[in-house]
Amino acid sequence: MKVMKVASTLVLAATLLLAGCGGGGDSTSGGTTQNQAAEQKAVVSSVQSMRLVENYELNLLPLIGTNSASVKSNGDLFFTVSTVGSVTTINFFSDQAATQTAGSIILTNAGGASFPKTVSVLVNVTGGSHPTSGSLNLTLQDILFKSFSLNGHLLVQDADHGATSIDVGLVSVNGSATGSITLVNGGETISLTNIQASHSIVNSNTTFHAHLNIQPQNIDQSITVVVNDNGSGHLALQDGTTAVWNTAGGGTITFPGGFTINIGSFDSGA
């Protein structure tokens, strides 16, 4: 349901993406400066994040209050859903036979069928490409999930980049979201503030505007990301750095002055 696009995207973004704070390119037309390398990291991470959400087939919100004993796939792990009273449990598995457990997400619906309602999300996903732990508090104002607030803290593990700490605070009114996300990975901190996000049914895309700050590299500028519903998209930083990618995930990053890096796959960062 496209009316749920922004809400589902940002909930999943907080839960699953923005992991690792980085990536890499596979070929260049020259050498990168330290700031270009940091910007490349931020750009690849941003594109990975947006594409992961677009391609990820598990939307948490529609699963509240449901039961499904059949094993389904979210593209990374397999899962089943069960609800007892106000508690919905999504159990994850590494195999389709559902014999190898990989953690769970537990959603507790404190509001029943009425709105507004508060849903607490306890995350303990131990398998897959981004094992994640932590908790989120989600307040839904309407049945279409277009107005909500989301706050919480998550710790996301990544084989290449270690642990990333994520703090999120987002508010959506009628499908337009604002807020901030802060990520800490090792000695690096990436802050996205003044976030504005909305989905266009007419244009079949989701647009994100934010202020990007990366320390200790002292990068401080605005960022705009447009992700089409087919997974392709483009990105622009305030200094003129741009990125484009196709449906398959391949694309380029171009720095001011025309220096270009070819990315074979933004999804893997290589």
Mean pLDDT, consecutive 10-residue stretches, the chain (270 aa), reads 38 35 37 66 69 53 78 83 92 93 91 82 88 88 76 82 82 78 83 81 84 84 86 89 90 90 77
Give the pLDDT of residue 93. Answer: 94
Count: domains in the chain? 1
Task: Report the predicted TM-score, pTM, of the whole model to 2 decimal places.
Answer: 0.72
DSSP state of 61: G
Does residue 243 form part of some domain?
A: yes
Does residue 65 form part of some domain?
A: yes
Does residue 113 form part of some domain?
A: yes
Q: Which domain holds residue 43?
A: 2-263
Q: How many CB atoms lie within 10 A of CB 65?
A: 15
Give the pLDDT of residue 2. Answer: 32
Does residue 268 form part of some domain?
A: no
Cα gap 145→9, rounded to integer Å: 11
Cα torsion angle, 36, 225, 181, 156, sign: negative
Q: Is 55 exposed, middle or buried (0-12, 13-18, 19+ CB in 10 A)?
A: middle
Does residue 196 form part of some domain?
A: yes
Does residue 62 form part of some domain?
A: yes
Give the pLDDT of residue 168. Answer: 83
Give the pLDDT of residue 59. Answer: 62
Give the pLDDT of residue 130. Answer: 79
Give the pLDDT of residue 177. Answer: 73
Does residue 223 form part of some domain?
A: yes
Give the pLDDT of residue 50. Answer: 60
Give the pLDDT of residue 108. Answer: 93
Does residue 140 form part of some domain?
A: yes
Residues 6+ apart with CB under 8 A from 241: 39, 43, 253, 254, 255, 256
CA distances from 149 to 115, 141, 145 (A): 13, 8, 10
Which run of H or of E encompasses 173?
Answer: strand 162-173
